[in-house]
Structure 1
Amino acid sequence: MDDFKKGMAFAHRLHKWSHAFLANYEDIPINPYGKWNESILDRDATLAYGSLKWLYQAQPPPPPHRQTTVVWFHDESTFYANDQKVKQWVHVNETAKPYAKGEGPSQMVANMVSADYGWLPSPGGSETAQVLFKAGKNCKGYFTNEDILSQANNAMDILVKHFLNENHILVFDNAMTHAKWADGALSASKMTKNISDKFSVEVNVHDKARQLVYFPDGKIMKEKI
């Protein structure tokens, strides 16, 4: 504990000296430990440890009016196995090389990105807002509003846990979210003119894994509630 206090006091002194020197390059403090051609921390391992321990300890967050605002954009990109163009010179006697037709299997990647940090992982990389998704009726279906909400909750958990000293804004530009309402919500356009026992609301059918269920023709299965 004494080493820590000693290092903390010296770290405060280094901070004061640094600001004074930046304000006036001729303001060089007197060194009671010797010459300025070597670092005091190089000769005193205990002092170096205490100083670094204090400098690297968690600092309290700044007041809200001084916090930086970081804007995060939701990005979705789909990559295809055969999405490429090949141009090259070939010999006149060379035969054509067959290539796979079609775009091939796809992989969708959704993530949050900002100009300040790039992609959104935790500092150690153990947590990430990235979602890998196999789109298509024969795979995981399609990226629905529920998937976007789940990813947004995960991103907010990472921000609250690791980036608490900043204000964060999440921006989503997804066509499905613009017209989304709660499952089971009444729709004025589908209401009957008069009271009817046949009136109900259609919702999408999900399986036990919360994935959409499709008919053989590819249409989403609906049920009335």
Structure 2
Amino acid sequence: MHWAWAKCPVAWRGQYMRGDHSHPTIMLEVVASYDNWIWHAYFGVAGSNNDINVLNSSNLFNSMLNEEMPDVPYHINGVEYRRGYYLADDIYPTWAAFVKGFSSVVDKKHSYFTKKHAEARKDVERTFGILQGRQPARSYEVNQMRRLMYTCIIIHNIIIEDNGYNLAENDWVVEPVQHIQRTWIERCDARARRTRELRDREVYEGLRSELVEHLWDLRDDL
């Protein structure tokens, strides 16, 4: 999300401007579920960047790469996967952590999947709209706006929880991560292995194919 910065200093406008926006912006990266609960937020990147620049500078995958994130095993059509995935659009890389729609559909299954994928991603757009509507950017300092944005996100989640809309706490139970003492070389090797797993294109293709079949089996017009 691009958050308009009305008080951007003139000297900084170049790095906070982009061709598709007529005003300076600061970018916000968010992971949200269908109940509008925000799981991850990263704010403060200059608006001249694109989504890949934001992804590369954020800490979204740090806990996974550092082996601090527990596995969440699940099965789709009899195939076991150990980590969750994020719904993303076509600009994101073809990694095992992302599931994207099809830019060109070849049959009804792919068309149905792409439709459901787009419908699910609207939950994040709705969450962005809530954040934008609650607080305009009227500060001169980026750090102050960063603190303000994170405060708004915390209050947003509190409101969702108090209203009884958050469903995530009852969705699954995971075992805590057991921290093992490792040497520097072992930690580097583990991070390299996790990076390869994160960017595994074969897992991406297999997961998306299984989801296509799974959604097709669950469609309403059987």
Tell me: higher relative CO, structure 1 or 2? Use CA pairs within 8 A at least 6 residues apart: 2
Q: TM-score, normalised by structure 1?
A: 0.23
Rg larger in structure: 1
Q: TM-score, normalised by structure 2?
A: 0.23
Q: More helix by proportion, 1 or 2?
A: 2
